[in-house]
Protein backbone atom coordinates (compact mmCIF):
# COMPACT_ATOMS: atom_id res chain seq x y z
CA UNK A 1 0.00 0.00 0.00
CA UNK A 2 1.70 3.16 -1.21
CA UNK A 3 -1.00 5.51 -0.03
CA UNK A 4 0.47 8.01 2.36
CA UNK A 5 -0.97 10.97 4.16
CA UNK A 6 -1.17 14.45 2.77
CA UNK A 7 0.99 17.03 4.47
CA UNK A 8 -1.16 18.76 7.06
CA UNK A 9 -2.38 22.12 5.83
CA UNK A 10 0.10 24.87 6.76
CA UNK A 11 -2.22 27.37 8.41
CA UNK A 12 0.57 29.95 8.72
CA UNK A 13 0.13 30.59 4.99
CA UNK A 14 -3.67 30.61 5.01
CA UNK A 15 -5.98 33.47 5.97
CA UNK A 16 -7.46 32.99 9.45
CA UNK A 17 -11.20 32.34 9.68
CA UNK A 18 -11.63 35.53 11.70
CA UNK A 19 -9.94 38.39 9.84
CA UNK A 20 -11.22 41.51 11.65
CA UNK A 21 -10.55 43.91 8.75
CA UNK A 22 -12.67 41.72 6.44
CA UNK A 23 -16.01 42.47 8.06
CA UNK A 24 -17.95 39.52 6.65
CA UNK A 25 -15.74 37.08 8.56
CA UNK A 26 -16.94 38.40 11.92
CA UNK A 27 -20.24 36.53 11.96
CA UNK A 28 -19.12 33.70 9.68
CA UNK A 29 -15.92 32.48 11.34
CA UNK A 30 -16.05 29.46 13.65
CA UNK A 31 -14.70 30.31 17.10
CA UNK A 32 -13.62 26.85 18.19
CA UNK A 33 -10.44 25.34 16.78
CA UNK A 34 -10.77 22.93 13.89
CA UNK A 35 -10.62 19.28 14.91
CA UNK A 36 -7.60 17.65 13.28
CA UNK A 37 -8.88 14.70 11.24
CA UNK A 38 -6.54 13.30 8.60
CA UNK A 39 -9.43 11.59 6.83
CA UNK A 40 -8.06 8.72 4.76
CA UNK A 41 -11.10 8.54 2.48
CA UNK A 42 -10.97 12.28 1.76
CA UNK A 43 -7.23 12.17 1.15
CA UNK A 44 -7.41 9.31 -1.34
CA UNK A 45 -10.71 9.77 -3.17
CA UNK A 46 -12.48 12.58 -4.96
CA UNK A 47 -14.72 13.26 -7.94
CA UNK A 48 -13.28 12.29 -11.32
CA UNK A 49 -13.80 14.46 -14.39
CA UNK A 50 -13.62 13.67 -18.08
CA UNK A 51 -13.09 16.05 -20.96
CA UNK A 52 -16.42 14.73 -22.31
CA UNK A 53 -18.18 16.40 -19.38
CA UNK A 54 -17.20 19.82 -20.74
CA UNK A 55 -18.15 21.79 -23.80
CA UNK A 56 -15.26 22.51 -26.14
CA UNK A 57 -15.64 26.27 -25.73
CA UNK A 58 -16.02 26.30 -21.95
CA UNK A 59 -12.43 27.51 -21.43
CA UNK A 60 -12.86 30.55 -23.68
CA UNK A 61 -14.64 33.33 -21.81
CA UNK A 62 -14.12 35.68 -24.75
CA UNK A 63 -16.65 33.73 -26.79
CA UNK A 64 -18.45 31.15 -24.63
CA UNK A 65 -21.38 33.51 -24.03
CA UNK A 66 -20.94 35.80 -27.03
CA UNK A 67 -23.22 36.11 -30.03
CA UNK A 68 -21.87 34.33 -33.11
CA UNK A 69 -18.86 36.25 -34.39
CA UNK A 70 -18.82 38.56 -31.34
CA UNK A 71 -16.44 38.71 -28.43
CA UNK A 72 -16.39 40.08 -24.89
CA UNK A 73 -15.39 43.69 -24.28
CA UNK A 74 -12.13 44.63 -22.62
CA UNK A 75 -8.42 43.86 -22.60
CA UNK A 76 -7.97 40.40 -24.08
CA UNK A 77 -5.82 38.12 -21.93
CA UNK A 78 -4.57 34.55 -21.85
CA UNK A 79 -4.53 33.29 -18.25
CA UNK A 80 -2.53 30.12 -18.02
CA UNK A 81 -0.37 28.03 -15.73
CA UNK A 82 -0.04 24.63 -14.12
CA UNK A 83 -1.58 22.81 -11.19
CA UNK A 84 1.16 21.13 -9.13
CA UNK A 85 1.29 19.53 -5.72
CA UNK A 86 3.64 20.42 -2.88
CA UNK A 87 6.09 17.82 -4.19
CA UNK A 88 6.20 19.72 -7.51
CA UNK A 89 4.36 16.93 -9.32
CA UNK A 90 1.79 17.95 -11.92
CA UNK A 91 -1.87 17.31 -11.11
CA UNK A 92 -3.52 16.11 -14.32
CA UNK A 93 -7.29 15.77 -14.65
CA UNK A 94 -8.04 18.59 -12.20
CA UNK A 95 -11.25 20.51 -12.82
CA UNK A 96 -10.58 24.25 -12.80
CA UNK A 97 -13.54 26.57 -12.79
CA UNK A 98 -13.12 30.34 -12.89
CA UNK A 99 -15.47 33.27 -12.50
CA UNK A 100 -14.93 37.00 -12.67
CA UNK A 101 -16.38 40.44 -13.17
CA UNK A 102 -16.38 41.93 -16.65
CA UNK A 103 -13.94 44.62 -17.76
CA UNK A 104 -16.08 47.23 -15.99
CA UNK A 105 -16.07 45.38 -12.68
CA UNK A 106 -19.63 44.00 -12.90
CA UNK A 107 -20.67 40.38 -12.32
CA UNK A 108 -23.48 38.71 -14.20
CA UNK A 109 -25.18 37.74 -10.93
CA UNK A 110 -28.65 38.58 -9.67
CA UNK A 111 -27.16 39.99 -6.47
CA UNK A 112 -24.63 42.34 -8.12
CA UNK A 113 -26.09 45.84 -8.43
CA UNK A 114 -22.93 47.82 -9.26
CA UNK A 115 -23.70 50.60 -11.74
CA UNK A 116 -21.18 49.44 -14.36
CA UNK A 117 -23.11 47.80 -17.21
CA UNK A 118 -23.25 44.13 -18.07
CA UNK A 119 -21.54 43.05 -21.26
CA UNK A 120 -24.08 41.16 -23.39
CA UNK A 121 -21.27 39.00 -24.78
CA UNK A 122 -19.73 38.00 -21.46
CA UNK A 123 -21.00 35.85 -18.61
CA UNK A 124 -17.74 35.65 -16.66
CA UNK A 125 -17.39 31.93 -16.11
CA UNK A 126 -15.38 29.15 -17.66
CA UNK A 127 -13.95 25.75 -16.88
CA UNK A 128 -11.31 23.36 -18.07
CA UNK A 129 -9.47 20.18 -17.08
CA UNK A 130 -5.70 20.12 -16.62
CA UNK A 131 -3.68 18.09 -19.14
CA UNK A 132 -0.99 15.49 -18.39
CA UNK A 133 1.44 18.23 -17.36
CA UNK A 134 -1.13 19.82 -15.07
CA UNK A 135 -1.39 22.74 -17.51
CA UNK A 136 -4.51 24.82 -18.05
CA UNK A 137 -5.44 27.97 -19.92
CA UNK A 138 -8.35 30.37 -20.17
CA UNK A 139 -8.94 33.10 -22.71
CA UNK A 140 -10.80 36.01 -21.16
CA UNK A 141 -10.84 39.76 -20.58
CA UNK A 142 -8.99 41.42 -17.73
CA UNK A 143 -11.62 42.08 -15.07
CA UNK A 144 -12.08 45.55 -13.64
CA UNK A 145 -11.75 46.48 -9.97
CA UNK A 146 -15.07 47.01 -8.20
CA UNK A 147 -16.35 48.61 -5.01
CA UNK A 148 -17.48 46.37 -2.16
CA UNK A 149 -19.23 47.12 1.12
CA UNK A 150 -16.37 46.63 3.58
CA UNK A 151 -16.05 50.31 4.46
CA UNK A 152 -17.04 53.73 3.15
CA UNK A 153 -14.74 53.48 0.11
CA UNK A 154 -13.32 50.00 -0.41
CA UNK A 155 -12.35 48.43 -3.73
CA UNK A 156 -11.35 44.93 -4.71
CA UNK A 157 -8.23 44.62 -6.86
CA UNK A 158 -8.92 43.09 -10.26
CA UNK A 159 -9.17 39.35 -9.71
CA UNK A 160 -10.33 36.06 -11.13
CA UNK A 161 -11.83 33.47 -8.77
CA UNK A 162 -10.43 29.97 -9.19
CA UNK A 163 -11.92 26.71 -7.95
CA UNK A 164 -9.79 23.56 -8.19
CA UNK A 165 -10.87 19.95 -7.72
CA UNK A 166 -7.64 17.93 -7.58
CA UNK A 167 -6.98 14.23 -7.17
CA UNK A 168 -8.62 14.00 -3.75
CA UNK A 169 -11.35 15.90 -1.96
CA UNK A 170 -8.92 16.95 0.81
CA UNK A 171 -7.08 19.02 -1.84
CA UNK A 172 -10.21 21.01 -2.62
CA UNK A 173 -9.33 24.69 -3.04
CA UNK A 174 -10.98 27.98 -3.89
CA UNK A 175 -8.83 31.05 -4.28
CA UNK A 176 -8.49 34.31 -6.18
CA UNK A 177 -5.84 35.33 -8.68
CA UNK A 178 -4.66 38.95 -8.74
CA UNK A 179 -2.58 40.83 -11.29
CA UNK A 180 1.05 41.86 -10.93
CA UNK A 181 1.41 45.50 -9.98
CA UNK A 182 -2.24 46.17 -9.12
CA UNK A 183 -2.15 49.16 -6.73
CA UNK A 184 -5.30 47.96 -4.93
CA UNK A 185 -3.63 44.78 -3.63
CA UNK A 186 -2.10 46.35 -0.49
CA UNK A 187 -5.43 48.02 0.33
CA UNK A 188 -7.68 44.97 0.08
CA UNK A 189 -8.75 43.37 3.36
CA UNK A 190 -9.41 40.03 1.69
CA UNK A 191 -5.91 39.77 0.20
CA UNK A 192 -4.28 41.16 3.33
CA UNK A 193 -5.99 38.61 5.54
CA UNK A 194 -3.25 36.24 4.30
CA UNK A 195 -0.53 36.52 6.96
CA UNK A 196 2.41 35.71 4.67
CA UNK A 197 3.83 38.05 1.99
CA UNK A 198 5.17 35.21 -0.17
CA UNK A 199 1.78 33.50 -0.13
CA UNK A 200 0.21 36.77 -1.36
CA UNK A 201 2.84 37.08 -4.08
CA UNK A 202 1.98 33.55 -5.26
CA UNK A 203 -1.63 34.65 -5.77
CA UNK A 204 -0.47 37.36 -8.14
CA UNK A 205 -0.43 36.38 -11.82
CA UNK A 206 2.73 37.54 -13.55
CA UNK A 207 2.92 39.10 -16.97
CA UNK A 208 4.22 36.36 -19.30
CA UNK A 209 5.65 38.15 -22.32
CA UNK A 210 6.78 34.90 -23.96
CA UNK A 211 3.23 33.57 -24.05
CA UNK A 212 1.74 36.84 -25.28
CA UNK A 213 0.05 36.39 -28.64
CA UNK A 214 1.24 39.16 -30.99
CA UNK A 215 -1.52 41.51 -32.16
CA UNK A 216 -4.04 39.47 -30.14
CA UNK A 217 -3.66 39.20 -26.37
CA UNK A 218 -1.45 39.67 -23.35
CA UNK A 219 -0.59 36.57 -21.29
CA UNK A 220 -0.49 36.14 -17.52
CA UNK A 221 0.88 33.14 -15.69
CA UNK A 222 -0.72 31.73 -12.54
CA UNK A 223 0.42 28.41 -11.06
CA UNK A 224 -1.65 26.67 -8.40
CA UNK A 225 -0.25 24.34 -5.74
CA UNK A 226 -2.41 21.70 -4.06
CA UNK A 227 -1.49 19.72 -0.95
CA UNK A 228 1.05 16.94 -1.56
CA UNK A 229 1.78 13.59 0.07
CA UNK A 230 4.48 12.60 2.48
CA UNK A 231 7.08 10.35 0.90
CA UNK A 232 6.34 6.69 1.61
CA UNK A 233 7.70 5.21 4.81
CA UNK A 234 9.81 2.79 2.80
CA UNK A 235 12.20 5.12 1.05
CA UNK A 236 13.64 2.41 -1.19
CA UNK A 237 10.24 1.65 -2.64
CA UNK A 238 8.94 4.18 -5.15
CA UNK A 239 5.41 5.47 -4.69
CA UNK A 240 2.85 3.44 -6.61
CA UNK A 241 4.29 -0.01 -5.94
CA UNK B 1 -1.86 14.15 16.68
CA UNK B 2 -0.23 15.74 13.68
CA UNK B 3 2.51 13.66 12.06
CA UNK B 4 6.05 14.59 12.99
CA UNK B 5 7.77 12.99 10.00
CA UNK B 6 10.14 15.36 8.21
CA UNK B 7 8.36 17.15 5.44
CA UNK B 8 10.02 17.24 2.08
CA UNK B 9 7.83 19.88 0.50
CA UNK B 10 9.21 21.75 -2.45
CA UNK B 11 6.24 24.10 -2.73
CA UNK B 12 3.60 25.47 -0.41
CA UNK B 13 -0.11 25.02 -0.94
CA UNK B 14 -1.69 28.05 -2.63
CA UNK B 15 -3.48 30.28 -0.13
CA UNK B 16 -7.25 30.04 -0.03
CA UNK B 17 -9.43 33.08 -0.58
CA UNK B 18 -13.13 33.46 0.07
CA UNK B 19 -15.47 32.17 -2.63
CA UNK B 20 -17.26 35.52 -2.28
CA UNK B 21 -20.92 36.30 -2.87
CA UNK B 22 -20.86 35.44 -6.57
CA UNK B 23 -19.49 31.89 -6.32
CA UNK B 24 -22.63 30.65 -8.10
CA UNK B 25 -21.50 32.18 -11.39
CA UNK B 26 -18.50 29.91 -11.39
CA UNK B 27 -19.81 26.70 -9.83
CA UNK B 28 -23.58 26.62 -10.36
CA UNK B 29 -24.27 29.17 -13.12
CA UNK B 30 -27.88 28.00 -13.59
CA UNK B 31 -28.62 29.20 -10.05
CA UNK B 32 -27.93 32.77 -11.12
CA UNK B 33 -29.67 32.54 -14.46
CA UNK B 34 -26.71 31.65 -16.68
CA UNK B 35 -27.60 28.76 -19.00
CA UNK B 36 -24.10 28.07 -20.30
CA UNK B 37 -23.22 24.44 -19.65
CA UNK B 38 -25.16 21.39 -20.84
CA UNK B 39 -23.83 19.41 -17.90
CA UNK B 40 -23.30 21.41 -14.76
CA UNK B 41 -20.72 19.83 -12.48
CA UNK B 42 -22.13 18.38 -9.27
CA UNK B 43 -25.79 18.60 -10.31
CA UNK B 44 -26.60 14.98 -9.40
CA UNK B 45 -25.04 12.88 -6.66
CA UNK B 46 -26.75 9.59 -7.55
CA UNK B 47 -28.45 8.61 -10.80
CA UNK B 48 -31.39 6.22 -11.22
CA UNK B 49 -29.18 3.13 -11.48
CA UNK B 50 -27.58 3.79 -8.10
CA UNK B 51 -28.71 1.39 -5.37
CA UNK B 52 -29.74 2.56 -1.95
CA UNK B 53 -32.32 4.39 0.10
CA UNK B 54 -33.22 7.76 -1.44
CA UNK B 55 -32.94 10.52 1.12
CA UNK B 56 -33.47 14.26 1.17
CA UNK B 57 -31.60 16.53 3.57
CA UNK B 58 -32.89 19.99 4.42
CA UNK B 59 -30.92 22.66 6.22
CA UNK B 60 -29.81 26.21 6.79
CA UNK B 61 -26.32 27.49 7.51
CA UNK B 62 -26.61 30.06 10.33
CA UNK B 63 -24.18 32.88 11.01
CA UNK B 64 -23.21 34.19 14.45
CA UNK B 65 -26.00 36.76 14.45
CA UNK B 66 -28.68 34.17 13.87
CA UNK B 67 -29.14 35.05 10.22
CA UNK B 68 -29.21 32.44 7.48
CA UNK B 69 -26.21 32.40 5.16
CA UNK B 70 -28.20 33.03 2.00
CA UNK B 71 -25.27 32.93 -0.40
CA UNK B 72 -23.79 29.64 0.80
CA UNK B 73 -22.56 26.88 -1.49
CA UNK B 74 -22.02 23.39 -0.10
CA UNK B 75 -20.36 20.39 -1.68
CA UNK B 76 -21.07 16.84 -0.56
CA UNK B 77 -18.69 13.87 -0.94
CA UNK B 78 -19.93 10.43 0.04
CA UNK B 79 -19.66 6.71 -0.76
CA UNK B 80 -22.48 4.65 -2.25
CA UNK B 81 -24.77 2.40 -0.21
CA UNK B 82 -22.09 -0.31 -0.17
CA UNK B 83 -19.51 2.13 1.20
CA UNK B 84 -17.60 2.48 -2.07
CA UNK B 85 -16.57 5.81 -3.55
CA UNK B 86 -17.17 6.93 -7.12
CA UNK B 87 -14.25 6.11 -9.35
CA UNK B 88 -13.81 2.65 -7.84
CA UNK B 89 -14.77 -0.36 -9.98
CA UNK B 90 -17.42 -1.31 -7.48
CA UNK B 91 -19.46 1.91 -7.62
CA UNK B 92 -22.38 2.30 -10.03
CA UNK B 93 -21.56 4.09 -13.28
CA UNK B 94 -24.11 6.84 -12.59
CA UNK B 95 -23.04 7.35 -8.99
CA UNK B 96 -20.99 10.54 -8.73
CA UNK B 97 -20.88 10.71 -4.96
CA UNK B 98 -20.32 14.43 -5.28
CA UNK B 99 -22.78 17.23 -5.55
CA UNK B 100 -23.24 20.94 -5.13
CA UNK B 101 -25.97 22.54 -3.11
CA UNK B 102 -27.04 26.16 -3.34
CA UNK B 103 -29.37 27.74 -0.82
CA UNK B 104 -32.43 29.76 -1.70
CA UNK B 105 -31.11 33.32 -2.04
CA UNK B 106 -34.07 34.70 -0.03
CA UNK B 107 -34.39 32.20 2.81
CA UNK B 108 -31.06 30.40 3.00
CA UNK B 109 -32.87 27.03 2.97
CA UNK B 110 -31.04 24.31 1.08
CA UNK B 111 -31.91 20.78 0.10
CA UNK B 112 -29.83 17.79 -0.94
CA UNK B 113 -31.22 14.76 -2.81
CA UNK B 114 -29.01 11.72 -2.52
CA UNK B 115 -28.84 8.16 -1.22
CA UNK B 116 -28.00 7.09 2.29
CA UNK B 117 -24.28 6.29 2.25
CA UNK B 118 -22.80 3.02 3.42
CA UNK B 119 -20.25 2.84 6.18
CA UNK B 120 -16.62 3.23 5.07
CA UNK B 121 -13.86 1.40 6.96
CA UNK B 122 -15.57 0.71 10.25
CA UNK B 123 -17.04 4.18 10.61
CA UNK B 124 -20.69 5.08 10.96
CA UNK B 125 -22.43 6.23 7.75
CA UNK B 126 -22.03 9.95 7.16
CA UNK B 127 -22.00 12.64 4.49
CA UNK B 128 -18.92 14.81 4.18
CA UNK B 129 -19.80 18.47 3.58
CA UNK B 130 -17.62 21.40 2.50
CA UNK B 131 -18.99 24.91 2.97
CA UNK B 132 -17.94 28.09 1.19
CA UNK B 133 -19.40 31.60 1.10
CA UNK B 134 -18.57 35.26 1.42
CA UNK B 135 -16.87 35.74 4.79
CA UNK B 136 -15.49 32.19 4.87
CA UNK B 137 -11.78 32.46 4.07
CA UNK B 138 -11.08 28.73 3.80
CA UNK B 139 -13.78 26.18 2.97
CA UNK B 140 -15.15 24.49 6.09
CA UNK B 141 -15.22 20.69 6.30
CA UNK B 142 -17.82 18.94 8.43
CA UNK B 143 -19.74 15.67 8.60
CA UNK B 144 -23.43 14.82 8.83
CA UNK B 145 -24.24 11.61 10.71
CA UNK B 146 -27.61 9.89 10.91
CA UNK B 147 -29.68 9.65 14.09
CA UNK B 148 -30.78 6.24 15.39
CA UNK B 149 -27.70 4.70 13.81
CA UNK B 150 -26.20 2.09 16.17
CA UNK B 151 -22.76 2.41 14.60
CA UNK B 152 -22.53 6.01 15.83
CA UNK B 153 -21.60 4.67 19.28
CA UNK B 154 -18.31 3.25 17.98
CA UNK B 155 -17.54 5.79 15.28
CA UNK B 156 -13.92 6.90 15.76
CA UNK B 157 -14.63 10.51 14.87
CA UNK B 158 -17.76 10.95 16.96
CA UNK B 159 -16.11 9.25 19.92
CA UNK B 160 -13.05 11.50 19.77
CA UNK B 161 -15.24 14.57 20.33
CA UNK B 162 -15.41 14.74 24.11
CA UNK B 163 -18.15 17.30 24.62
CA UNK B 164 -21.56 15.74 24.01
CA UNK B 165 -23.11 19.01 22.82
CA UNK B 166 -20.38 19.42 20.22
CA UNK B 167 -20.79 15.83 19.06
CA UNK B 168 -24.52 16.41 18.71
CA UNK B 169 -23.93 19.19 16.14
CA UNK B 170 -22.88 16.50 13.65
CA UNK B 171 -26.06 14.43 13.92
CA UNK B 172 -29.05 15.21 11.72
CA UNK B 173 -32.67 15.02 12.84
CA UNK B 174 -34.94 12.49 11.15
CA UNK B 175 -38.08 14.10 9.77
CA UNK B 176 -39.49 10.75 8.63
CA UNK B 177 -39.96 9.24 5.19
CA UNK B 178 -36.31 9.55 4.11
CA UNK B 179 -36.12 13.23 5.03
CA UNK B 180 -33.57 14.70 7.41
CA UNK B 181 -32.81 18.12 8.83
CA UNK B 182 -29.21 19.26 9.28
CA UNK B 183 -28.65 22.87 10.30
CA UNK B 184 -25.09 24.13 10.48
CA UNK B 185 -24.02 26.93 12.84
CA UNK B 186 -20.87 28.86 12.04
CA UNK B 187 -20.72 30.37 15.54
CA UNK B 188 -22.48 30.44 18.91
CA UNK B 189 -23.50 27.89 21.51
CA UNK B 190 -24.50 25.41 18.83
CA UNK B 191 -21.38 25.97 16.67
CA UNK B 192 -20.92 22.95 14.41
CA UNK B 193 -17.71 20.93 14.68
CA UNK B 194 -15.44 21.63 11.70
CA UNK B 195 -12.42 19.57 10.72
CA UNK B 196 -8.86 20.13 9.55
CA UNK B 197 -8.75 17.24 7.06
FE1 LIG C 1 -14.94 38.84 -6.89
Q: How far apart are CA B59 and CA B121, in angstroms?
A: 27
pLDDT value of position A150: 97
Are B10 and A88 within 8 A, CB to CB? Answer: yes
pLDDT tens digits, A43-58: 999 999 988 899 999 9
pLDDT value of position B87: 87
Q: Are A41 and B79 in contact (CB under 8 A)?
A: yes
Does residue A130 have a pLDDT over 80? yes
Exposure string for A159-194, b = 16+ CB within 10 A, e = fewer: bbbbbbbbbbbbbbbbbbbbbeebebbeebbbbebb
Does residue A192 have a pLDDT over 70? yes
Chain B closest-CA separation from residue A184 CA (Å):
16
Are B140 and A27 within 8 A, CB to CB? Answer: no
Q: How far apart are CA B42 and CA A58, in angstroms?
A: 16
Mean pLDDT of the region A58-62: 98
Q: Which of B18, B184, B193 to mutate to test the interface with A (most CBs of A within 10 A)?
A: B18
Chain A residues with CB-CB distance to B186 below 8 A: 27-30
Does residue A84 have a pLDDT over 60? yes
The answer for residues whose C-beta is within 8 angstroms of residue B137's C-beta and 6 or more apart is A14, A15, A16, A17, A19, A22, A25, A29, A193, B16, B17, B18
pLDDT band at A139 (very low <50, low <70, confident <90, very high): very high
For residue A76, the CA-to-ligand 1 centroid distance in Å is: 19
Q: How far apart are CA B180 and CA A137, in angstroms?
A: 41
Is A187 part of the annotated catalytic residue set? no
Mean pLDDT of the region A168-196: 98
B66: three-class secondary structure by DSSP: coil
For residue A157, the CA-to-ligand 1 centroid distance in Å is: 9
Chain A residues with CB-CB distance to B88 below 8 A: 45
Q: Which of A22, A65, A146, A220 is catalytic?
A: A146
Task: Average pLDDT across each block of 10 residues of chain B; the chain has 197 residues. List them in order.
Answer: 74 98 97 93 96 98 98 98 93 96 97 96 94 98 96 96 96 97 97 98
User: In terms of Cα–Cα distance, which of A74, A76, A62 is closest to A217?
Assistant: A76
Chain A residues with CB-CB distance to B67 below 8 A: 27
Cα distances (Å, whole numbers) of residue A182 to A152, B94, B148:
21, 45, 55
Chain A closest-CA separation from residue B86 CA (Å):
7
Does residue A238 have a pLDDT over 50? no
- Beta bridge partner(s), residue B153: none
pLDDT value of position B6: 67
Q: How far apart are CA B126 and CA B53, in angstroms?
A: 14
Q: Are A136 and A175 in contact (CB under 8 A)?
A: no
Q: Identify the sign of the CA torsion B53, B139, A226, A158.
A: positive
User: In terms of Cα–Cα distance, which of A41, A34, A98, A123 is closest to B23?
Assistant: A98
Does residue A235 have a pLDDT over 70? no
Mean pLDDT of the region A49-71: 95
Which ipTM value was assigned to this complex? 0.96
* Residue A158 in contact with partner chain B when CB distance is under 8 A: no
Does residue A2 have a pLDDT over 70? no
Of A24, A31, A174, the CB nearest to B139: A174
pLDDT value of position A239: 46
Are A173 and B14 within 8 A, CB to CB? Answer: yes
Is A114 part of the annotated catalytic residue set? no
Cα A162 to its chain centre, rounded Å, is 2
Chain B contacts in chain A segment 81-100 (CB below 8 A): 84-88, 95, 97-99
Q: Count of CB contacts below 8 A, A vs B? A: 261
Strands (E), chain B: 54-62, 73-77, 98-102, 109-115, 126-132, 140-145, 173-176, 179-181, 184-185, 195-196
Chain B residues with CB-CB distance to A17 below 8 A: 136-138
Chain A residues with CB-CB distance to B157 below 8 A: 37
Q: Which of B42, B135, B190 to mutate to test the interface with A (most CBs of A within 10 A)?
A: B135
Q: Phi, psi (5° rounding) for residue B176?
A: 95, 155
Q: Phi, psi (5° rounding) for residue B91?
A: -90, 150
The answer for residues whose C-beta is within 8 angstroms of residue B138's C-beta and 6 or more apart is A14, A15, A17, B16
Mean pLDDT of the region A110-133: 97
Mean pLDDT of the region A8-37: 97
Are A39 and B128 within 8 A, CB to CB? Answer: yes
Residues with a beta carbon under 5 angstroms from ion ligand 1: B 20
Q: How far apart are CA B74 and CA B110, in angstroms?
A: 9
Reduce the secondary structure of chain A to three states and give it as a string.
Answer: CCCCCECCCCHHHCCCCCCCCCHHHCCCCCCCCCEECCCHHHHHCCCCCCHHHCCCCCCECCCCCCCCCCCCCCCEEEEEEEEEECCCCECCCCEEEEEECCCCCCCCCCCCCCCCCCCCCCCCEEEEECCCCCEEEEEEECCCCEECCCCCCCEECCEEEEEEECCCHHHCEEEEEEECCCCCHHHCHHHHCCCCHHHHHHCEEEECHHHCECCCEEEEECCEEECCECCCCCCCCCCCC
Does residue A3 have a pLDDT over 80? no
Q: Which of A137, A161, A172, A202 is catalytic?
A: A161
Share of residues in chain A with pLDDT > 70 (%): 95
For residue B26, the CA-to-ligand 1 centroid distance in Å is: 11
Amino acid sequence: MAETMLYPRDWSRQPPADAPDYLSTRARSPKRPLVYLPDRALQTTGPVFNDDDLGENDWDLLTNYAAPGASANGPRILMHGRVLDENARPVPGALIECWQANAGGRYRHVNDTYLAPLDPNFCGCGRTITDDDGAYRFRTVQPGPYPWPNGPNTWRPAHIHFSVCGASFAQRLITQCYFQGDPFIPHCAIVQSIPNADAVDRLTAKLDLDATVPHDMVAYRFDIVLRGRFATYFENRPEGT
Amino acid sequence: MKPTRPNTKLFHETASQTAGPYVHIGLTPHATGIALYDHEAGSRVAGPQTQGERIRVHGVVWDGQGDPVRDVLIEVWQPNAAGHFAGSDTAEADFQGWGRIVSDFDTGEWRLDTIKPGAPEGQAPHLHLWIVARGINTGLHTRMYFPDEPRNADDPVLTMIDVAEHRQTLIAAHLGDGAYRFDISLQGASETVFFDV
